[in-house]
Amino acid sequence: MSETPAAPVKVKFFSGEDIPLELHKVRIVQKLYLRPVDERLKAMQAAGFNTFQLSTLDVFLDMLTDSGTNAMSDNQVSSMLRADDAYAGSQSFARMEAAVREVFGTQYVIPVHQGRAAENVISRAFIKQGDVIPMNYHFTTTKAHMEISGGKIFEIYTDEALKIKSSFPFKGNMDINKLKALIKEHGAARIPFIRLEASTNLIGGQPFSIANMREVRKVADQHAIMVLMDASLIGENAYFIKQREAKFKNASIKDILLTMCGLVDMIYFSSRKVSSTRGGGICTNKKDLFLKVRDLVVLFEGFVTYGGMSVREIEALAVGMYETTDETVISQSPSFIAYLVNELDKQGIPVVTPAGALGCHLDAMGFLPHVPQKEYPAGALATALFIISGIRGMERGTISSVRDDQGNDILADVELLRLAFPRRVFTLSQTKFALDRLTWLYKNRELVGGLKFVDEPTVLRFFMGRLAPTSNWPDRLVKQFKKDFGNSL
Ligand code: F0G
């Protein structure tokens, strides 16, 4: 019997209930703390109303991110014991190389310590001052690295991408006409590469289609421009292709991954996401491209057979790579997200649809229409949800943006509160708890007010910045919570 059952992995319930099913057993557990509401308020105050600053001792469901928090499999953990500690020529690296060759179909692979390290190296290797970089959408660290290297980013998404409510299956697609116009305007010589981000993170974990990738490839070939793929969330993007792109309905995830990777010149990834471990990598079939990044990896990351990663992590990465081709693994997070998104949507609670990868994305401007965007509705919603539930989400709105030259906030396209579902970490009853508390919060949304910065770093301010509420609204929220829930946590 094959270890990987044939698709589809969806299980139908006799009762007719449409709920996700955990296709694994839990063998190692970690205790969680659900603190009383007064303690949660105190923890939030101490954290400067920034969920990045909370201690996990105060957090019940940590839905901040899937980065480095996906559950590892038994095979991944056990592989770490056979790590071959060597500065150069480690067998652990040989196993990683073999895994990436098989799963992505790329000959050359080089480890780096995490996704943004790949972005640093690639930006330095290929971007010159004044260059133009088309992409379906930016990611925070991507944009920061590419701009430091002198590049200017152009996001050329389709009209559907930023609509909160949509049934468009591929909101991560690139708009081909806009891509052609951009190349015409700036000239191919100023475009070092076109970047495609799988399961586009900041617009709600939304995938692109292979049909769209093929169109991008065609335009790139006409102008001899390189195509770069951020594959940090490639497994989920492949899963959505199988679900939503008719041509690939019967294809295996393995074949879909190989098709995707075969359409680009270079791939990089954060293995904190794609293979449920730590680290990252850069891969390609083109020797000239490989050599350009190789020398920078040696300079910034470490020798080419470890690239800043521990060999134990490299072993787990290799196993995680193979597991990315297993539909029972990569379908887990999307199916729990779909459950929460669809239940919220049924109640009219504003949430990004269709459900995507990585997390459930609440539309904070729809949820809190009375909070002006300059008072950071997504940050306010993250604060309020933590206080009333102990659930830690991540602001993905204007706090995650930057200021312009005059010091004004550049308002984000969308104000989202992301509730991440790391792979195989949360159960259905925990998901139902999140649904229940969000429902209560929506009914009491008028109690939630805005936030303002009191300490604001100049780079990636959302990580370390400290904020304060614009009024004493958190106290009012706690009062109402106690009225409705009594002594309940
Ligand atoms: N690219 C994408 C699409 C990402 O989602 C991330 C990280 C990175 C690059 C950078 O990788 O963290 O390993 O340096 N995303 C995390 C998140 C941080 O929470 O979404 P890294």
* Identical fold between 37-66+329-485 and 74-325: no
Q: Is 140 designated active site?
A: yes
Fold (topology level) of 37-66+329-485: Aspartate Aminotransferase, domain 1 (3.90.1150)
Distance (angstroms) between ligand 1 centre and the Cα of 70 equals: 13
With cut-offs at 50, 70 and 90, classify the pLDDT of residue 7: low
CATH number of 74-325: 3.40.640.10
Report the percent of the chain where pLDDT is more than 70: 98
pLDDT at residue 1 greater than cutoff 60: no
Residue of 335, 334, 312, 411 lying closest to 78 (CA atoms): 312
Task: Return the CA Rg of the chain.
Answer: 22
What does the alpha-carbon distance between residue 301 and residue 1 come to, in Å, rounded to a whole number?
Answer: 42
Contact predicate 392/383, CB 8 Å = no
Catalytic residue among 87, 159, 247, 295: 87
Q: Is 248 designated active site?
A: no
Q: Is 383 designated active site?
A: no
What average pLDDT does range 373-390 have in this prediction? 98
Establish whether residue 51 lines the binding site of ligand 1, counting it when its CB lies within 6 angstroms of any ligand atom: no
CA 74 to chain centre: 24
Q: Is 396 designated active site?
A: yes
Domain spans of the chain, in order of start: 37-66+329-485, 74-325
pLDDT (tens digit, 9 = 90+) per residue, 9-58?
Answer: 778 899 999 999 999 999 999 999 999 999 999 999 999 999 999 999 99
From residue 25, give the alpha-carbon distance in Å to each of 60, 74, 163, 322, 388.
21, 11, 37, 19, 30
pLDDT (tens digit, 9 = 90+) per residue, 55-74?
Answer: 999 999 999 999 999 999 99
Establish whether residue 236 lines the binding site of ligand 1, counting it when its CB lies within 6 angstroms of any ligand atom: no
Distance (angstroms) between ligand 1 centre and the Cα of 114 equals: 8
Q: What is the pLDDT of residue 248?
A: 97
Calculate helix-pair angle for 253-262, 210-222, nearest 10 degrees: 20
Q: What is the mean pLDDT of the chain?
A: 96
